[in-house]
Each structure stands twice: as C-alpha cells, then as structure tokens.
Amino acid sequence: MARQLMRVRVRGVVYESAKVAAQELGVNESTLRVKIWNGTEDEIGLREKPGFIPKPRNRKRLEIAGVTYFSHQDASAALGRSKHYVSGAYRLKDERPKRWEHVVKQFQELHASTGHIDT
C-alpha cells in the first residue's frame, strides 16, 4: 500500500505535502514539521526574508582599527583564523597585552590592504 501524503495548512493556505509547503515558504522541511508538531505553523516563514540574518543572543560587537564587527567570530573570520582567535586574545588582553597588540596590528594591515581605513 502506497504511503499517502499529509496535507498541510499554513496561515489558511493548504499545501499538498510538507515538502511542497516548505519549498513554497522557503524553509527547511524539518523546520516546518517541528512547527506543525508544536502548533506554531502560522509563524513559518515570517522571519526568513531576504537579507535577514538572525542574531544570536551572545554576539558581542567589537571595533578593531576603526571597523566594527558583529562578533568576535566574524572578526576572526576576516583574518582567516579559527573562530576563537580574536575572542581568546581579547579575553586575555590585560594579562598578555602584546598578543592583543599583535591582533590589532593584523587588522590594521588587513584594512590598509583592502582600503577600509588609513593607518
């Protein structure tokens, strides 16, 4: 016996299946199924707009050499380093100031080479 697809209703629109609904709404099928299970299917696809970037609660903005980064991890990525590179140096900047100065110097060189700021 063939498996029958379950119809899905989101904000009054009925879709033939969860897969079709997920594609139409621009969300992952598993996300859609979890929202249906939780009874919050009317919230599906409301925040996923072009250009929307969810901001985790623990992100800490950081300004280095005149450029603001949304998080320490973003700053580390700009240097092509591991995600904890900047946060580790920043956390220990009072105990190991030369390490932090070295990180700042790397950013100054990066920004000078990309034309972000004049050093």
What proportion of the chain, given as a percentage, has pLDDT over 90? Answer: 16
Domain that holds residue 86: 62-114
Q: Count of domains in the chain?
A: 2
User: pLDDT digit string (tens) for 82-105?
Assistant: 989 999 999 999 999 999 999 999
Whether 119 is covered by a domain: the verdict is no
The lowest-confidence range among 64-73, 83-92, 108-117 is 108-117
Q: How far apart are CA 45 and CA 75, in angstroms?
A: 30
Is pLDDT larger for residue 2 or for residue 68?
A: 68
Whether 78 is covered by a domain: the verdict is yes
Q: Does this model's pTM top 0.85?
A: no
Give CB contacts under 8 A, 24+ apart, made by 76-79: 78/107, 78/110, 79/103, 79/106, 79/107, 79/110
Residues 104 and 86 in one domain: yes
Strand intervals (E) in 29-104: 62-64, 67-69
Residues 48 and 1 in one domain: yes
End-to-end CA, the chain: 72
Question: Residue type for 52, please?
Answer: F
User: pLDDT digit string (tens) for 11-25?
Assistant: 888 899 888 988 888
Token pair listed for 21:
């609904």
